[in-house]
Amino acid sequence: MPRPFDTTTAVPPGSAADRLDRVVAALFPGLVPSRAAAKAACKRGDVLVDGVPAEPSRFVAAGQQLTLLPHSGPLPAPFPLALEVAYEDDAIAVVVKPPGLPVSGNQHRTLRHALSANLAASPRPDALRLPEPAHRLDAATSGLVAIGKTASALAALNAAFASRDVAKRYRAVVVGRLEGEGAITVPLGGRPCETRYAAVQHGAAVRCGWLTVVDLWPLTGRTHQLRRHLAGLGHAVVGDRLYGTRGTILRGLGLFLAAVELTLPHPDDGRPVQVEIPPPRKHAALLRREARRVARLSD
C-alpha cells in the first residue's frame, strides 16, 4: 500500500514503451537525479506501476500511472557544516555554498548532506525527508544554490531551471583588462551557448598587468560555461586550475568566481524571489594586495 506523500503521474500520451528506470528518471527530475537513482528506487520498492511495485527493467507505456514513494531507507547522518541561509520558507530555500564543497555526490562531505541541519523541516504534506538542491555549482565555485523542501516545489524549481526561467548573476575576478560589456556565444561541446558580461572594476597587478572584476550572466547552462568562455576570451578566472594561466593560480585562495544573485519564480504562485549576497571578501582583498605590490615596485 502506498505510504503518505506519494508523487503520482501518468506516462504522457504518445510515449513509446520504455524501461521503467528510464521513464522514472525523465518524469521525476530532481526527485530522482539520475537513471541509476531511479533503478535503485525501483529495487527498493519505492516505484509503483498502477499501484504495484515493479522492477526497473519492466517496460511501461503511455497512460500507466507511476507513483514515486518517499525513500524509506535510513537517512544519512548530517554533514556538520554551518551554512548561510539567504532565504527560506516552507517550500524552498536558498543557501550559500562555500567554495570547495561539492553540491552532491557519493561522498558524505556535500552541501546536500549539510542541508537538514541548517533548514527547518517543511510542515507541508509532500515534505521531502531531506531537502534537495535544484541545480549545481562547480565544487570550486561559491554562492547561491536553490533548494526544494517539498516534492512539488522541487519539481517546479527543476522545471524553471530547465525552461531558463531562472536568472543567475555571477561575480568573478579575471586576468587582464576586460573592457565594457558584451556577449560570448562560442558553442561548447557542439551546443549553443551564451554568456553575457559587464566589467565592474579594474586593478593593476604585478604578474598579469591588470585584473578585472566582472559580472556574468549565463543564458545557457553548459559544464564550466563561464570558466571556459572567459578563458577562451583570454581572461581566465583567477585561481582556475583547469582553464587558468600560469602565474594566476593562487595557492590556497581558490577560484575567484561566485554566484551572487538568483531570481526565480516561487513554486507556490510564480512570484519572483530575488536573492542577492555580496561577493566574497577575497575579491576586494586581492585587488588591494595587488595595488600595494604595484605601488611598492614603482617606488
Other Cβ atoms within 10 Å of 151 Cβ, number: 22
Catalytic residue among 138, 165, 215, 269: 138
CA separation for the pair 227, 213 (Å, rounded): 14
Contact 21, 56 (CB under 8 A): yes
Indicate if 138 belongs to the active site. yes
Supply the residues annotated as catalytic: 138
